[in-house]
Structure 1
Amino acid sequence: MASNNSFLWQSNFRIINDRVILVQVLICVFLCINLFLITTFFLKDYFHTTMRYVLFVVTLFSDCLFLIMTDMLLILNYFSLTIQMWLCLIIYIILSVYTLVTPLTLTAMVLERYVAICMPLRHAELCTTHKTVHLILIIHSLSSVPSIVIISIFFATASLTLYTTGRTCSAEMFSTYQWQEHLRSAISQFYFMIMCMIIIFSYVQIMKVAKAASGNNKKSTWRGLRTVILHAFQLLLCLIQLWCPFIENVVLQTDLMLFINIRYFNYVTFILAPRCLSPLIYGLRDDLFFQAVRYYALSGLYKKQLLG
């Protein structure tokens, strides 16, 4: 019986280990793709002055940072490594901010498409480089509000000796009471409710223009509409991510192995997947950006062949 339990434990450990390796491979692949797209953005001057491309590269930076930080926590938790609370606090603040930066930036990109399609005469006035910088600052400020609230409450309740205590880092460590979890969830749900309302409003308005348009304008409008739908799908996956901790906490009380399986599934589906869709939506579907990507990719291969 003991040998069977030992074999089962080793089998489970191997499965989990394979999953961790798979996550590392996926993250490395997506980081390489994102870094290549970021390089493409900086190599072409036109992208620097166009709002949608600037916002696109902001999502790429946000996703890269988020993937690196979450992967670091995954490895720390997998090997049960402890870090001091002050370092965990910094990691939590960064993750808390950049959990919202991507969906808020996606919402801003939807609004940019709304202005471009429904208010074309005002697009050049409203979507300048100067206003894009202001918009990015607003996005990061709004993304910081939930973490400021949670951390302020934590500072008020935690003792000074706690900051030098070594623990396994997780977001739950900063919620001493159950109502803090509910407050964090309520703030996030409020953000996503506003974002969903903006998405629906933009979709309806673009749909009206699409029905009234004709010829090339109709084709361009329907393409913009499909982009809005893809952004809405990304936001839906991000929204589901907020419900995952509640499901995981319930499962943890009943079955540890099921908890591990569900947490892995949630991480891949609702954390990795939404942040891997951005390169597909804008990096490949946008004709101008795709042409630049293809040009620099082929130039790199050509130079490599010459050097070879």
Structure 2
Amino acid sequence: MVNSTELTNNTTTKVMSTPMIVITIVLALMVLFFVIYVYLMVIILNVFFTSPQVRETTRYILFIHMLFNDAIYLLFSFMLFILSISGILFPVPICLVIASFTTCSFIITPYNLAVMSLERYAAICHPLRHAELCTAQRSNLAIAFIWIMGMIPQLANVIVYCCFADSRSFNFKIICDWKLMTVSNVQVVIRNFTDIVGFSTVTMIIAYTYVKVTFVARRMDSGNFASKAGKTILRHMFQLLLSMLAFTTLITETYLTPYFKYLPFVNFFLVMCLPRCVSPFIYGMRDEVFGKPMRKFYLIASIRLLH
């Protein structure tokens, strides 16, 4: 397992010699998808903040949090990508903060998906206690807990770096890459442990909740609601798999780059960033609250393209 910031900047350091036309195309695509993501996010936020009932619903609170977190990750990833290919150097302390925050944002999305699956599990398997278990206040506490779990490994990484690094290194300027800030095997162990345990736990939670919800759906005489919840959890699993594709970047670039020199760019766009951009489509378009305004946007955009 590898660090997400390391993956992002590993990509950028390998493509310095890439033709400018390729860089321009990839950057244009990234900007386009990010603009679409932000526009859809604005539509969703407008519905969320203008509907008091929606603002108090746990699954929508968690969904909005995931959108904000993905937007943060995309913004910082784009920034690091552009600055790295431009050869711009960061002071080590600033790089430590940015790299830690970006990596934290990367691993928070799977944790958020796990909590969203647990909310659906409570709604279907414990309907009488759902209103008690899934309140707006508890949703905010869950989000705070997610951020704490995401930040602890990053703080440990920073502490280890400060303990083992030469004090003079804090005066250096570098391309912001975790590999350049790995001064001890302890950091590698922390990152691997966090990735393996974190993603394994999330996978087991989502799989367990899907099995339980599916079982309840088959028992119920009218299982439409439970069936929809099962499909929602399946979408969570799909989103998790998309997130985990990021860990294939180092392997594919090690063995396939000699045959496809643009692979680092493709990996960064398709594997690191695009999965985050599709969140509004995966969840928003099929939701009864957000689906209608999003489909209206899609219809208007299609008409404008045709004309």
TM-score category of the 2 structures, normalised to the smaller one = 0.7 to 0.9
1:85–1:166 contact (8 Å) kept in structure 2: yes
Distance verdict in 2 for CA 1:173–1:247, change over 3 Å: farther
After the TM superposition, which residues 83-122 of structure 1 pair with which residues of structure 2 at under 5 Å, given as runs?
83-122=90-129
Q: Say whether residues 1:20 and 2:10 are aligned partners.
A: no
In structure 1, the gaps of 5 or more residues are 1-8, 301-308
**Deviation of the 1:281 alpha carbon:** 2.8
1:185–1:242 contact (8 Å) kept in structure 2: no
Q: Say whether residues 1:272 and 2:273 are aligned partners.
A: yes
Instruction: Render the CA deviation track for 1:252-277: whole Å, top value 9, x for unaligned.
Output: 9x74x84x623222222322232123
**Deviation of the 1:195 alpha carbon:** 0.4
Q: Which residue of 2 aligns with 1:303?
A: none
Provide the rounded CA distance (Å) in 1 between the counterparts of 2:99 and 2:18: 33
After the TM superposition, which residues 220-231 of structure 1 pair with which residues of structure 2 at under 5 Å, given as runs?
220-231=225-236
Q: Which residue of 1 aligns with 2:213?
A: 206
Q: What amino acid maps onto 2:56 in structure 1? A: T
2:161–2:184 contact (8 Å) kept in structure 1: no
Q: Say whether residues 1:80 and 2:81 are aligned partners.
A: no
Larger radius of gyration: 1
Q: What amino acid maps onto 1:76 in structure 2? A: L
Q: Which residue of 2 aligns with 1:3?
A: none
Distance verdict in 2 for CA 1:17–1:281, change over 3 Å: closer
Range that drifts further, 184-193 or 274-283:
274-283
Range that drifts further, 206-215 or 194-203:
206-215
Q: Say whether residues 1:164 and 2:171 are aligned partners.
A: yes
Q: Which residue of 1 aligns with 2:153?
A: 146
Provide the rounded CA distance (Å) in 1 between the counterparts of 2:38 and 2:185: 36
The structure, 1 or 2, with the larger RCO (C-alpha pairs under 8 Å, 6+ apart) is: 2
Q: Which residue of 2 aligns with 1:6?
A: none
Q: Which residue of 2 aligns with 1:305?
A: none
**Deviation of the 1:181 alpha carbon:** 2.9
1:63–1:102 contact (8 Å) kept in structure 2: yes
SS in 2 for 1:287: coil
Which residue of 161, 180, 186 maps to 2:187? 180
SS in 2 for 1:288: coil
Range that drifts further, 286-295 or 136-145:
286-295
Matched positions, count = 285
Greater share of helix residues, 1 or 2?
Answer: 1
Distance verdict in 2 for CA 1:167–1:225, change over 3 Å: same
Provide the rounded CA distance (Å) in 1 between the counterparts of 2:159 and 2:97: 13
**Deviation of the 1:283 alpha carbon:** 1.6
Q: Which residue of 2 aligns with 1:190?
A: 197
Could you list the runs of 4 or more consecutive aligned residues of structure 1 that deviate by over 6 angstroms after TM superposition?
A: none
Provide the rounded CA distance (Å) in 1 between the counterparts of 2:267 and 2:196: 18
